[in-house]
Amino acid sequence: MRILDEGSRGPEQSDVALACAAARKLGAPAYSPSHYVPVAGGGGVEVMELCVPIDAGGYLVASYSLRDALIELVGPTLTRGQEVSFTEADGTRLVALGTSRRSGTRVFTSQQLIDLPGAALMLRVDGWRAAPDLFPNMLTALVTAISIALVSVLVLLARDTRRRLRAERDLADALAFRKAMEDSVITGLRARDLQGRISYVNPAFCEMVGFSPEELMADNADAPYWPTELAHEYQQRQARRLAGGMPPREGFESVFMRKDGTRFPVLIFEAPLINAHKVQTGWMSAFIDVSEQRRIEELSRASQERLQASARLATVGEMASLLSHELTQPLAAIASYASGSLNLLGPDAKGDQGEVAMAVKRIAEQADRAGQVIRSVHDFVRRRDRTREAVAPQALIDAVLPLVRLQARKLGVIIEVVFEDRLPAAMCDRTLVEQVLLNLARNAMQAMDSPDNTGSRVLRLRVARAAAVGGTGQEDARRWIEFSVADLGCGISDEVAERLFTPFFTTRATAWGSA
C-alpha cells in the first residue's frame, strides 16, 4: 500500500538529493539519513531513502519505513519482555517495538552499529529484568547458613596445615616458574661471577651459540663463542665490567661466533647480579640475535628504494604522456606542411626543385616516424582498465619496436624479428604483454652492454606457436603462442640463478623494470 506521495514529501527533497549525490560520487547505491514524513490523515512515518544510479541516466529512489523494516527483521519472540529499536548514533530513538519498561526493573542494553552507504543506524535491544532476591525462601536461607557454618569449620581445621605447606608450595612454584621461563624465552641469558666465570646459561643461549652448558661453564679463561679476531676487544670489555664499569642502559651491539664458525650480530643488555643480602655477586646478561632483524631491515630498505624508483617512474610516465600529447600537434603540423610543400613542387620537379622535394619527403617520413614513437610511448604509459582482447602478434611486436630501437641504436644492438607464418590472434591484455616484451628486451640489451660481453650484440625477437611441454599435448599446445626474447649476453651464474626468483632481487645498480 502506498502511503507516501510527492505532496507529503515537500518540494525540496533535500534528503533524496544528498543520497543521490553520494550515490553518484560512490558509483553505487547510497542511503539518506532518516527523517520524518507526514502522511495523509495525520501522523507520519520515519523513513530512509535508497538512491540507485541507473546506467541509462537518472536514479531509482526507494523509500523504506524504519518501523516496517524493524517488524520484518525482528521476530515476535525477540520482542517479548524487551524492546528493540532503531536509534541515531547519538542515541536519539527513531522507532521501537516490544514491551515498555516496567517500574522496579533493571535495564540490560545491547547495541549494534548498522553502517549503510551514506548513513548509519544503531540497532538497540533493551531487556527488562526484576532485581533478584538474595534469599527467595526460608529453605534457601537455611541451606545457605548451614553451608557457611561447614565452610567455616573446614577453614579453621585446614589453617594449620596450610601454614606448614605454604612455604614448600611457594618454593616449588617459584622453581617451576623459573624453569618454565628459562625454557620458553627466546632471549639468551648468561650469568657470570665476579671472576668472569660463567655460572648459568639458559637453553636459548646454548641454542644461539651452538655450545652445550657444560662447554660454556667449563673452567677456562676464554669463552668459546668469542670470534678470534675480536677476542682482545671482548677481554677489554669484560675487564671493565669486572672492575665495576656500568654498561649502557640501552644495550650495545656485538658479534658472536657459533660452534660451526659462523658469525652473527647480537644485542646485549647487562645488569649487576644482586643477591638477597643486597651484595653484587656477578653480572647477568641478556642476548638477542638480531641477524634476522638486520636481514629484514635490508630487505625493507631495498623494497623502499624500489618503491621510490617506482614512484619516480610513475612521474616520468605522466610526463611522457603529457609530452607525447603536446608533441603530437607540432609533428602533425610538420607532416601537413611537408605534404603541402610536395604538392606545390609537383610530382615532376627537376634539378634543385627535385632535391628540395626529396628533402621535404624525408622530412615528412621522419615526422611520421617520430609520431609513431610518440604514440607508442603514449599507449605504453596511459592508464587503462585490464581487458583481454584478440590482438595480432605482429601488432604486439610493432607496438614496442619503436621504443626498443631507441635503446638498441644507443647501445649498438642489432634487432632481428622472426615471425612464424599464419599465426592466430592472441587473447590477452595488450598493455601487459607489451610491457613484458619491452622489459625483457631492455633487460637483454642491458645484459649485452656488460663490459664482460665482448661478442656480437644481437637481440632476436621470435613469435611462434608453442611446442608441447611436459604433459601438454600437441593439440593443446597449438592453442598457445610463444614470444621469445634471446640475447648474446654473458649468461646467468650459479649464484644469481639461486636468487633469480627472489622478490626485488636484481644485479643492476638501478632497476627500471623486470618481467
Show me where the domains of the chain are located.
Answer: 6-129, 183-289, 294-383, 388-515
The CATH code of domain 183-289 reads: 3.30.450.20
pTM of the model: 0.37
Stretch 253-273: mean pLDDT, rounded?
86
- What is the predicted pLDDT for the residue at 465? 84
What are residue 82's phi and psi, to 5 degrees? -155, 170
Rounded CA-CA distance 244/47 in Å is: 78
Strands 414-419 and 458-465: parallel
- Which residues sit opposite 121 in a β-bridge? 114
CATH class of the domain defined by 294-383: mainly alpha
Rounded CA-CA distance 96/124 in Å is: 9
**Of 97-106, 150-159, 415-424, 493-502, where does mean pLDDT reach its minimum?**
97-106
Q: Is the CATH number 3.30.565.10 carried by domain 388-515?
A: yes
Is 119 in contact with 48 (CB distance < 8 Å)?
A: yes
> In this predicted model, what pLDDT tens digit does every residue of 182-220 receive, in sequence order?
778 888 888 888 877 888 888 888 888 888 888 888 766
**Of 127-141, 155-169, 177-191, 383-397, where does mean pLDDT reach its minimum?**
127-141
Question: Backbone dihedral region of 486: left (phi > 0), alpha (psi from -120 to 50 degrees) or beta?
Answer: beta
Stretch 14-28: mean pLDDT, rounded?
80
- What is the predicted pLDDT for the residue at 385? 60
Stretch 127-151: mean pLDDT, rounded?
73
Stretch 266-276: mean pLDDT, rounded?
85
Angle at 311 between CA 309 and CA 312, to 5 degrees: 65
- What is the predicted pLDDT for the residue at 23? 81
E strand residue ranges, 275-388: 280-289
- Cα-only R_g, the chain: 41
% of the chain beyond a pLDDT of 90? 0
Supply the mean pLDDT for the chain. Answer: 78
Rounded CA-CA distance 468/1 in Å is: 67
- What is the predicted pLDDT for the residue at 93? 83
Rounded CA-CA distance 488/448 in Å is: 6
454: pLDDT strictly greater than 70: no
1: pLDDT strictly greater than 50: no
> In this predicted model, what pLDDT tens digit does every residue of 32-59 receive, in sequence order?
888 777 776 667 788 888 888 887 777 8
Rounded CA-CA distance 346/436 in Å is: 46
- What is the predicted pLDDT for the residue at 476? 54
- What is the predicted pLDDT for the residue at 377? 67
Stretch 346-356: mean pLDDT, rounded?
72
Torsion from C-alpha of 463, 469, 475, 480, nearest 10 degrees = -30
* Best CA proximity match to 404, nearest among 418, 414, 391: 414
Rounded CA-CA distance 316/306 in Å is: 15
Residue length of the chain: 515
> Residues with Cβ < 8 Å from 294, sequence gap 6 or more?
265
Rounded CA-CA distance 263/128 in Å is: 69
Angle at 110 between CA 105 and CA 114, to 5 degrees: 145
What are residue 200's phi and psi, to 5 degrees? -160, 140
Instruction: Classify the C-alpha dihedral 365-368-372-378 as positive or negative.
Output: positive
Is 33 in contact with 64 (CB distance < 8 Å)?
A: no
Stretch 335-353: mean pLDDT, rounded?
75
154: pLDDT strictly greater than 70: yes
